[in-house]
Structure 1
Amino acid sequence: MWRLREAPRRGPKPSLSLDDIVRAAIEVADADNDLGAVSMARVAERLGNSTMALYRHVKSKDDLLVLMSDAAIERPDPMPEGVDWRTGLTFWADNVLAAIRKHRWYAKIPISGPPAGPNNLAWFDAALGLLNDTGLPEEAKVGVVMGLITYVQGEVRMAFDLAAGYDQNPAAFQQFGATLRQVADPRQYPAVARLVDAGIFDEVGNFEDESEQDFDFGLQLYLDGVAAFIDRVCQGK
């Protein structure tokens, strides 16, 4: 990902590069809107090369997925000048969401380690930098940002999965409220029964619109907690 290997000094320029392979893999995933569509054979076909030619640049499909996950997220947009930490983290989280929505398959890539590639590290650095003036110790800044990453990734993955489930079987979602009215005995599920009585599950709207509202609601709850944590830590100094 960091291109640390020294390029060969002699001989003809290779007809295929690692950047070519990663770009073609992203194009395959985008075309089918499916990470499962990516295979070494399909990427090679798109490039007009043999599958073995790819293995000279990337060891395995798993390694290719890691490279795709960093290339697809691109670099973060510049942060508006003079923003406070909360406005900045809201801007940051909204932009992560927008970046992932460009490549919805991104949410299916397994998370196997901390941010490691140049683009993912740039996002990590941008979020950490927003906490510089909070008075938090460095370890606490990492905890805040990792918690935010966990929230964003979790919300995106759940929203995409729910939207896909609704597309496959909308009737199951539309009947959910009516089903709960039949099975949610208030003696066994008192809290759920109160939601049913309030009509919370009576209508199923547009999942994209609802997920965006839910995302912002949960984000602000998380940042409320961060604000309280900052106040507590700074008061203890």
Structure 2
Amino acid sequence: MDDPSGDTFIGRLWRLPTTPARRGRPSRLDVDTVVSTAVRLADNDGLDGAALPRVADELGVTAMSLYRHVGSKQELLQLMVDAASEPPSLAPAGIAWRDGLRRWAGELRDLYRRRPWIPRVPIYRTPSGPHQIAWLEHGFDHLADTRLDWGDKLGALTLLSGFVRQSALLNEELAEGRPPGQPQADGEREYSRVLGELIDSANFPHTAAMLASAVLDSAEPESEDSDFSHGLELVLDGLAARISA
């Protein structure tokens, strides 16, 4: 199958056949070898561990030789994300749209927990790889029996995936900023205490009212999970209102 877009990156992403070089020795590398090596390094050491020079060292080649297979640093990152984003499991037949999307979002969150480097990759272009399209297909399947048109379905999945991605990033970054060993709930209580001493109701009436409500002081030990579930249900509530409109 030829690349229908004429885009070399799309061809690599979908592993479409290419015309072999006519001169020189055939390379012992291919896209799969380079990408799988980079994913393994990122799993072990984060994105910094999957820099092109490190990947080249691991493969015993020069960094320049990798460009024949991945094009650029940005392209390698996108290839890594798709390769590492294993599609979600099949949902039970007949599952309601809300339960299906809750499951879909939970599996995406689990992926980001296993591979926290994925949401840190900048989105240079619209997700287009086979694994990413599989995620999209599963999401569409959960919305198939709703009254939403295609624009609403695509918008709903974009919003939902963005929520999961941002939630994963926020939790990772907040954890990095807390003192070692401090639980999230303790960090939120300390945040509430400090702000409570700084903020006055005359200048910040709504924020002062939020702090006075003690909503942060009552954070549960597993507040990362409860925060995610609460935010997810808010997103799904909005989608439910759209579906029933």
TM-score (norm 1): 0.86
1:25-64 maps to which residues of 2 (within 5 A)? 25-32=38-45, 34-64=46-76
SS of the residue corresponding to residue 135 of structure 1 reads coil
Q: Is the 8 A contact 1:181 1:196 kept in 2?
A: yes
Q: Is the 8 A contact 1:92 1:127 kept in 2?
A: yes
Give the equivalent residue in structure 2 for 1:152. Answer: 164
Give the equivalent residue in structure 2 for 1:182. Answer: 197
Give the equivalent residue in structure 1 for 2:8. Answer: none
Give the equivalent residue in structure 2 for 1:69. Answer: 81
After TM superposition, the structure 1 stretch with the greater mean CA deviation from structure 2, 94-103 or 14-23, is 14-23
How far apart, CA to CA, are the structure 1 residues paired with 2:217 and 2:227?
17
How far apart, CA to CA, are the structure 1 residues paired with 2:94 and 2:178?
42
Q: Could you tell me how far 1:203 is from its partner in structure 2? A: 6.8
Q: Please say if 1:221 is aligned against 2:225.
A: no
Letter in 2 for 1:5: P
After TM superposition, the structure 1 stretch with the greater mean CA deviation from structure 2, 74-83 or 167-176, is 167-176
Q: Is the 8 A contact 1:100 1:107 kept in 2?
A: yes
* Distance of aligned partners of 1:131 and 1:45 in 2 relative to their CA distance in 1, 3 Å threshold: same
CA deviation string 1:17-36 (max 9, x = no partner): 2111111111221222x212
After TM superposition, the structure 1 stretch with the greater mean CA deviation from structure 2, 163-172 or 74-83, is 163-172
Number of equivalenced pairs: 229
After TM superposition, the structure 1 stretch with the greater mean CA deviation from structure 2, 172-181 or 79-88, is 172-181
CA deviation string 1:147-177 (max 9, x = no partner): 1122112211112111111146969766422
TM-score (norm 2): 0.84
Percent identity over the alignment? Answer: 35
Q: Is the 8 A contact 1:115 1:124 kept in 2?
A: no
1:92-171 maps to which residues of 2 (within 5 A)? 92-167=104-179
* Distance of aligned partners of 1:188 and 1:113 in 2 relative to their CA distance in 1, 3 Å threshold: same
How far apart, CA to CA, are the structure 2 residues paired with 1:217 and 1:146?
18
* Distance of aligned partners of 1:172 and 1:67 in 2 relative to their CA distance in 1, 3 Å threshold: same
Give the equivalent residue in structure 2 for 1:15. Answer: 28
Q: Could you tell me how far 1:104 is from its partner in structure 2? A: 0.6
Segments of structure 1 that go 5 or more residues without pairing to the other structure are 233-237
How far apart, CA to CA, are the structure 1 residues paired with 2:211 and 2:21?
70
Letter in 1 for 2:66: L
Q: CA RMSD in A?
A: 2.5
Q: Could you tell me how far 1:78 is from its partner in structure 2? A: 1.2
SS of the residue corresponding to residue 187 of structure 1 reads coil
How far apart, CA to CA, are the structure 2 residues paired with 1:45 and 1:204?
46
How far apart, CA to CA, are the structure 1 residues paired with 2:229 and 2:98?
13
Letter in 2 for 1:200: V
SS of the residue corresponding to residue 130 of structure 1 reads helix
Give the equivalent residue in structure 2 for 1:85. Answer: 97
